[in-house]
Amino acid sequence: MRRSLSLYEDLTAVEGLDFGFQRNGLVSMFRTEAFADSVVTTSRLLDEFGIRVEVLDRSGVARLAPSMSDEVLGGAYFPEDAHLDPAAFVEQLAARFSASGGSILTLTDVLKLRAGTRGRVLVETAAGERNAQLVVLAAGAWSAGIARDLKLRLPIEPGKGYSLTLPIDGGPAGVPIRMLEANTTYTPTAHSIRLTSKMDLVGFDLTIDRNRVSGMAPAARRYLKLDHDFGTATAWAGLRPLTPDGVPIVGRHPHLTGLILATGHGQLGVALAPVTGWLVAQLATNQPSELDLKPLELQRFEGVRSR
């Protein structure tokens, strides 16, 4: 996570990409005593890993989040945390890649991957077949379906979540707020405020279920005095690629040497995107990895079948 943060800083400060990256920290808050204990336990655990957390009482939360409601009992502050605009990040990266001579085939489905000769993988797309020297499978929740013909069982399930984004007039970006019982995050930026929530296990259905979305703003108002009308907000649904142990799958396929897996990032794909790209670059160029990749290997799952 720390490596990702420093890579994000490089992408903005050194590469000059602008995707709303802000290192303002994050505040979590709770309304019920049951969560007071879990905040303390989590902060002790994170402390062991050198991650700074300050446990806050009511007045400490109010200092960082003045719009806090009367129901909030306490929380925690994660000063090292950051946030960004994910869509702008992808657009900026794609533009830089194209400007550097890379070519991106958009609106073209990969139908399946097939085993070729000498460890290579053939990519069957809606626009014909490609015989690539190296394929990186990074198709999020859809990765398992694409890999099926390789007799590769990727234990990834889609976890559907929603966001509600409301444009606002410019202002300084505040601190993102995690509302613990409601499992909802509030992210203010210079031009919008966004609520994200829900974890629905409903397969690949990306339709917006208005019943699910309509409860998000009322749930957030139990923590924050929000006077915005979320009825006019843009609703979006996305699929988190969930693995059974919540850890991504990153590494070379054990037999198909022309295939690198970079998927299953669950709830942390934005946070872990730069470090994943960095690891994939090391794998692709056959450099020794600077991190231990063993915990990320696909082989950690029992019963995984591979060729």
Ligand X SMILES: Cc1cc2nc3c(=O)[nH]c(=O)nc-3n(C[C@H](O)[C@H](O)[C@H](O)COP(=O)(O)OP(=O)(O)OC[C@H]3O[C@@H](n4cnc5c(N)ncnc54)[C@H](O)[C@@H]3O)c2cc1C
Note the residues at the interface with ligand X (CB under 6 A): 109-110, 138-142, 146, 161-163, 196, 238, 240-241, 263, 265-271
24 vs 62, beta carbon nearer ligand X:
24
36 vs 132, beta carbon nearer ligand X:
132
Cα–Cα distance measured from residue 104 to residue 102, given in angstroms and rounded to the nearest whole number: 7
Q: How far is the CB of 139 from ligand X (least distance, A)?
A: 4
79 vs 238, beta carbon nearer ligand X:
238
Residue nearest to ligand X (CB): 269
Reading the block at residue 296, the tokens are 């990320």
The size of the chain, in residues, is 307
Q: How far is the CB of 241 from ligand X (least distance, A)?
A: 6
Strand partners, 27: 77, 177
- What burial class does residue 3 get, using C-beta atoms within 10 Å of its C-beta: 0-12 exposed, 13-18 middle, 19+ buried? middle
110 vs 298, beta carbon nearer ligand X:
110
Q: How far is the CB of 40 from ligand X (least distance, A)?
A: 23
79 vs 145, beta carbon nearer ligand X:
145
Instruction: Say which residue the tokens 């299953």 belong to.
Output: 264
Q: Within its chain, how far is the Cα of 28 from the centroid?
A: 18
36 vs 268, beta carbon nearer ligand X:
268
Residues 6+ apart with CB under 8 A from 210: none
Q: How far is the CB of 70 from ligand X (least distance, A)?
A: 27
Q: How far is the CB of 33 from ligand X (least distance, A)?
A: 26
Q: How far is the CB of 108 from ligand X (least distance, A)?
A: 7
26 vs 56, beta carbon nearer ligand X:
26
Amino acid identity of residue 157, one-letter, is E
Residues 6+ apart with CB under 8 A from 174: 24, 65, 188
Q: How far is the CB of 123 from ligand X (least distance, A)?
A: 9
40 vs 219, beta carbon nearer ligand X:
219
Reading the block at residue 181, the tokens are 């019982």
Do the beta carbons of residue 188 and residue 226 sit within 8 Å? no
What angle do the packed helices 2-13 and 273-284 form, to 10 degrees? Answer: 90
Cα–Cα distance measured from residue 76 to residue 61, given in angstroms and rounded to the nearest whole number: 7
Do the beta carbons of residue 222 and residue 31 sit within 8 Å? yes
Cα–Cα distance measured from residue 200 to residue 115, given in angstroms and rounded to the nearest whole number: 34
Q: How far is the CB of 209 from ligand X (least distance, A)?
A: 13
